[in-house]
Amino acid sequence: MKRRDIDAWGHILGYGTHTAITMLYPRSPLLQGAEPYLRHTAHRRGVNPDVAAKLQDVLREWDTDRCGTAATGRHKISALA
C-alpha cells in the first residue's frame, strides 16, 4: 500500500527551507505565532534589505489590523504573499 501522509518538510522541500519559506510568505507564520521571530529578523543586521522591508511592511499591516480588531481577537491580513 502506498503511503499517503508526508511531514511538513516534504511539502516544502522543493521550494526551500522552513526559514526561507517563512521569509517569503510571512503572513502565514504570523498567524501561527512567529511574530517575535519575524520582528527580530526584520531588524537584524545582515538581513537582505528587500527581505527586511517586506517583513517590516507585513508587521506594520499586522499591527494596524490587530489594533483595529482587538475586540474580536481576529486578524484580517491580506492573502498570503
Q: Would you give the DSSP letter of residue 78?
A: P
Q: Does 60 fall in a domain?
A: yes
The helix-helix angle for 35-42 and 49-68 (nearest 10°) equals 140
Domains of the chain: total: 1
Q: Does 56 fall in a domain?
A: yes
> Grid coordinates 511538513 are at which residue?
8
Q: Does 21 fall in a domain?
A: no
| Poorest-pLDDT segment among 9-13, 33-37, 54-58, 59-63 | 9-13
Does residue 4 carry a pLDDT above 80?
A: no
Q: Does 77 fall in a domain?
A: no
Global pTM value: 0.63
What residue numbers bound the domain in which 56 lies? 36-41+48-68
Q: Does 64 fall in a domain?
A: yes
The enclosing H or E element of 76 equals none
Q: What's the mean pLDDT in 39-62?
A: 93
Q: Does 31 fall in a domain?
A: no
Does residue 81 carry a pLDDT above 50?
A: no
Instruction: Specify the higher pLDDT residue, 74 or 27.
Output: 27
